[in-house]
Amino acid sequence: MSAIRVPASRMEKALAETGWRVMVPSGAGRKGGYVELRAGGRLPRECGDHTKPSTPPKGLVFPNNEELLSYVLGVKGEIEVGPASHTMARTVLYGTPPCDTASFRALDSALLKDMAEPGYAGKRGLLGVIGMACSRAGRWCFCTSVGLSPRSNIGADLMVYPDGDDLLVERVSDRLDGLWKRLEAGAAGADEKALRAVEGKFVPRVLNFVFEAEKLADALEKAFGSPYWKEFSERCVSCGICTFLCPTCHCFDITDVAKDELSGKRLRTWDTCQFPEFTGETSAHNPRKERWARQRQRVLHKFLYHPRNHGHMMCTGCGRCIRYCPVDINIAEGVMRLGGSK
């Protein structure tokens, strides 16, 4: 069976039995984040833009500040390096909207492919994601324009579709099979038809920003020299909020912090392509010192470079960068203008 129907209360019981830490969205669509469900707490019963917190879940496995190693210099000049621990409690994210669920595909492709980033890899291996179909889109949402949908299970290990007091649960990967087996025992199976019928209820209208994903990369490549980049970025104050709150942005800096003359630690800290010094070189040359060049980089990384390298956009249409930008810069409008809207 790859899909089952269970009472919602059974999911609560099965998750409690695993002993895993459960993180759920908190903040009801406003300032908030993913927080630990307290013992006996109720799992979210619905999902939508109204339940999506301002802070995405990436910080769980990609913290904004993480120790990579510590070092001690010996009296003879030898260096003792202490590796950092990249572990965390076994964790399940429950009730992530499809836009946040899909963020893990983008993060995995950037941080696990070719050369895995150890801090991310260590924790990602201990994280399971249970996505939930979205029943309410917001005015900043545009998941349907980036190859996703309110029913998309991309990035999920299990996907749940609330149906009254029940949940239709779809097994998407084997990562949460320990939980799946508990849920599956004695549960009613759901065939493809039943799954599609419930899935079909999750059709909130996502119509604010519509562009054609297939043609976007080529159109943006042609628009590299467009004068519109200056207009698009005119108001930007380079605060970086759009990238820090983005579920897929993952730029970082490495800093060595001395504790005393002989010891210290190396930190990996979030950084942003929107800070003027981000591309500053030791020669004092800075290839992206203008705001428009930095904004162009943000847009092209998400809609041209990452898709060419990994086959999917590095934007999930969550709308956070639009909603929380202090000067109302709208990435979707920029993309529609440069990439052609439908």
Residue 237 binds ligand SF4 (CB under 6 A): yes
Cβ proximity to ligand SF4: between 119 and 147 the closer is 147
SS3 336: helix
Q: In what order do the strands lie in the sheet with 263-270?
A: 79-83, 65-73, 263-270, 252-258
Pairwise CA distance, residues 274 & 35, whole Å: 28
Cβ proximity to ligand SF4: between 223 and 331 the closer is 331
Q: Which stretch binds ligand SF4 (CB under 6 A): 90-98, 159-167, 184-192, 242-250?
A: 242-250
Find the shortest distance in angstroms from Cβ 288 to ligand SF4: 13
Pairwise CA distance, residues 129 & 131, whole Å: 6
Residue 320 binds ligand SF4 (CB under 6 A): yes
Interface pick for ligand SF4 out of 239, 251, 267, 293 (rule CB under 6 A):
239
Q: Which stretch binds ligand SF4 (CB under 6 A): 114-122, 167-175, 216-224, 317-325?
A: 317-325
259, 261, 262, 266 alpha-carbon torsion, rounded to 10°: 40
Pairwise CA distance, residues 259 & 181, whole Å: 48
- Span 283-312, contacts to ligand SF4 by CB under 6 A: 302
**β pairing state of 91-96 and 127-132:** parallel
Q: At what angle do helices 177-184 and 8-18 cross, to 10 degrees?
A: 130
Find the shortest distance in angstroms from Cβ 23 to ligand SF4: 19
Pairwise CA distance, residues 31 & 339, whole Å: 31
- Span 246-275, contacts to ligand SF4 by CB under 6 A: 246-248, 274
Residue 331 binds ligand SF4 (CB under 6 A): yes
Find the shortest distance in angstroms from Cβ 192 to ligand SF4: 30
Q: Choose among 89, 37, 82: nearest CA to 60.
A: 89
Interface pick for ligand SF4 out of 238, 255, 279, 286 (rule CB under 6 A):
238
Q: Which stretch binds ligand SF4 (CB under 6 A): 22-30, 45-53, 207-215, 240-248?
A: 240-248
- Span 187-216, contacts to ligand SF4 by CB under 6 A: none
Both tokens of 255, joined, read 């800093």
* Interface contacts to ligand SF4, rule CB under 6 A: 236-242, 246-248, 274, 302, 315-321, 325-327, 329, 331
